[in-house]
Chains A and B, each alone.
Chain A
Amino acid sequence: MNRHLTSTADLTRDDALLILDTAEEMAQVSTRAVKKLPTLRGRTVVNLFFEDSTRTRTSFEVAEKRLSADVINFSAKGSSVSKGESLKDTALTLQAMGADAVVIRHGASGAPARLAQSDWLHGSVVNAGDGTHEHPTQALLDAFTMRRHLSPTGGSTGGSGSRGRDLAGRRITIVGDVLHSRVARSNVRLLHTLGAQVTLVAPPTLMPFGVESWPCEVSYDFDAALPKSDAVMMLRVQRERMNAAFFPTQREYSRRYGLDAARAAMLPEHAIVMHPGPMVRGMEIASEIADSARSTIVEQVANGVSVRMAVLYLLLGGSESAINGPAAPASTAAPTTTSAGTIEEHAK
């Protein structure tokens, strides 16, 4: 049995809700004095990080330890591209050591999918961010956070009241460097599955090719999107991008696409402001907004632990039907293209 989480495209609505509901259970654990479950005792989880990410690795590590797993941090900085040990040999090593799950962060898009489809290791593969492709647990924690704020059933118990609910009809605006963002790709897929209406906002240079075919709206006008947003998610924009002519200057970017106080005032009263971190304060988001009451940025970090606990629990010990196997993403192949991607015969 080979069960993985490499893309939010693999999650059905039921899968996603099961993870989010399980995460609510996990959140309860984190409020106790003893924040620990025996669930994964004796299971080995490896955090395999080919890129530095203290934030994500720590979040996974806390989640794994709260589930009583044996945790190994395997820092493999510098991939096979830069003459380190190859992904294959690293995977074979982890397999030999008996890893039950591998949480992988890699700079190359598709590396987790490659690992999941290979016979190099047999444990579950959890994508902790691959290149500019996906970051599924980030999208899940974002959805978890949105659901708590935007879809409660009226209970005063905070999040637990939102159990079983999706994000139908919620309007989510994601702003920034969508082109290079794995967070945006995972969120668009997951939020669409959960029924939300997503709008991507970025300068045209930072929109992915073919974005018009994604299940979302696309806009270059941030101001127009704000009054219609239940949540606005700001993405990090690296200053170096301006050297590759994606935008002229940092100041111009901030003026057109940054979330400052004037723009925040255009949001509906109930709207929340999100950021996956790390933030570039003053670039995509003003400090006063990041620190404001409607900001969920710190809360997202806490929710990350609960969601990652839920994912690991369901992959390694939980319900059989929780998360699909590494099934191919839904085919978007044209009618005359077979699933193998070869063109069928067609007489002239």
Chain B
Amino acid sequence: MTSYLIKNARVLGGEPQDLRLRDGVIAEIGTGLTPAEADETVIEADGLIALPGLVDLHTHLREPGREDAETVLTGTRAAAKGGFTAVHAMANTFPVADTAGVVEQVWRLGRESGYCDVQPVGAVTVGLGGKQLAELGAMADSAAGVRVFSDDGKCVDDAVIMRRALEYVKAFGGVIAQHAQEPRLTEGAQMNEGTVSGELGLAGWPAVAEESIIARDVLLAAHVGSRLHVCHLSTAGSVEIIRWAKSKGWDVTAEVTPHHLLLTDELVRSYDPVYKVNPPLRTEADVLALREALADGTIDAVATDHAPHPSEDKDCEWAAAAMGMVGLETALSVVQRTMVDTGLMTWADVAERMSFKPAAIGGLAGHGRPVSVDEPANLVLVDPAYRGKVNPDAFATRSRNTPYLGLELPGRVVATFLRGRATVLDGELA
């Protein structure tokens, strides 16, 4: 196996150091290290930031069923280019990942891809139907070792089903990741309910539809003493509820997507469905509240909600378009722009929110580890000085539904290492 000597990388944004990666682990950290073996590859990393490999709690890899949008292979290649070494694959595939068979299939495809570890998420209910619990234990006991369960795309809106799911997964250390969306309040919803939706004549998706479910769920989690994770927080009100729940000491975590940290519903005025996403883009006040909450730790993690769609599902009128945006390959740049370059967070904070915390929430043993000797060599090297316009033609994902086309974003993933093996070098797939 090739070993690497990374010269002068700023680990978590600190002083420049050298790192030797050998046999899948970080073998040595110091200054003035020299190549120890003839076949050791030296990487000059002056000016680059070294972070632990990023971990995504929320990725749609679409396989099985929608291989026209993404496959495990193309999705994990996109993940590697984005600096990720592990992703959680959401369960809303065809068939739904609600059995041990399907989650093992996805897990195996991830292993074969070799670009990024794939940790399948299991569905909470059969077929995401919200009526009957899926065999959560069987998925937990499978080779995939599922620990995160979610009906993402659908809300577990039945309070009794949600309560039972929260209780049941305690037996094997699982967590329910809720897509908070009260269904009756969002029938036919097309965008954030606000001034813009009123003017555009598009049916509104009100903030209260998210907040009322989160409020109920944190109370349920507290009542039964379970762990709750809330997907893609999008409103200032949701932040307040999570902050309150945490102040009570309840075991609640939350994530935010990069797009909810940057974009607002003003973009919908174009009627371009590339901005159609669920939960919808909200207002500037919501964006600022989400940034503040991510900075102060109320929100634990950034998760991409990478949602690839084929072009025909976006090349149409707004109402007919699918909801979702690709995000794996732009996530770190958006976080740099919204959180680091604004002074709200340090690179060490980025490591916390995009690696350590999501790995802990997902229960991933080999990821989100400190950058220190004998730890798995899951690393990403970032050039924070880089500035470039987003070019979807250069994406590794199979889909092109990015809201950032042509937008200049900072930062570039120069290299990604998965257990000491380069998946990305010089910004290209290795």
**Are A343 and B318 in touch, CB under 8 angstroms?**
no
Chain B 184-212, CB-CB to A under 8 Å as 1, else 0, gives 00000010011111111111101000000
8 Å CB contact of A342 from B197, B315, B407: B407
**Are B262 and A342 in touch, CB under 8 angstroms?**
yes
8 Å CB contact of A341 from B203, B266, B320, B337: B266
Measured CA separation A279–B196 after assembly (Å): 29
Chain B 288-314, CB-CB to A under 8 Å as 1, else 0, gives 100000010000000000000000100
Given contacts A79-B320, A86-B312, contact A131 B201 (CB under 8 A): yes
Chain B 320-349, CB-CB to A under 8 Å as 1, else 0, gives 100000000000000001100111100000
**Are A109 and B318 in touch, CB under 8 angstroms?**
yes
Interface members, chain A 158-181 (any B CB < 8 Å): none
Report chain B residues within 8 Å CB of A213. Answer: 195
**Are A114 and B198 in touch, CB under 8 angstroms?**
no
A328 within 8 A of B: yes
Report chain A residues within 8 Å CB of B344. Answer: 348
Report chain A residues within 8 Å CB of B206. Answer: 209
**Are A111 and B195 in touch, CB under 8 angstroms?**
no
Chain B residues with a Cβ closer than 8 Å to the other chain, count: 44
With both chains docked as a complex, state the minimum distance between the C-beta of B106 and any C-beta of chain A, in angstroms. 29
Measured CA separation A209–B190 after assembly (Å): 14
A88 within 8 A of B: yes
Total cross-chain contacts (CB, 8 A): 129
Chain B 49-90, CB-CB to A under 8 Å as 1, else 0, gives 000000000000000000000000000000000000000000
A336 within 8 A of B: yes
Chain A residues with a Cβ closer than 8 Å to the other chain, count: 43
Measured CA separation A347–B275 after assembly (Å): 26
**Are A109 and B312 in touch, CB under 8 angstroms?**
no
Report chain B residues within 8 Å CB of A346. Answer: 342
**Are B263 and A342 in touch, CB under 8 angstroms?**
yes
Closest to B204 in A: A209
Given contacts A109-B201, A348-B342, A348-B344, contact A341 B316 (CB under 8 A): no
Measured CA separation A113–B201 after assembly (Å): 13
**Are B319 and A108 in touch, CB under 8 angstroms?**
yes
A96 within 8 A of B: no
Chain A 304-348, CB-CB to B under 8 Å as 1, else 0, gives 000000000000000000000000110011101100111101111
**Are A110 and B407 in touch, CB under 8 angstroms?**
no
Measured CA separation A182–B200 after assembly (Å): 10
A residues apposed to B, CB below 8 Å:
79-81, 86-88, 106-111, 113-114, 117, 130-134, 182, 185, 208-211, 213-214, 328-329, 332-334, 336-337, 340-343, 345-348
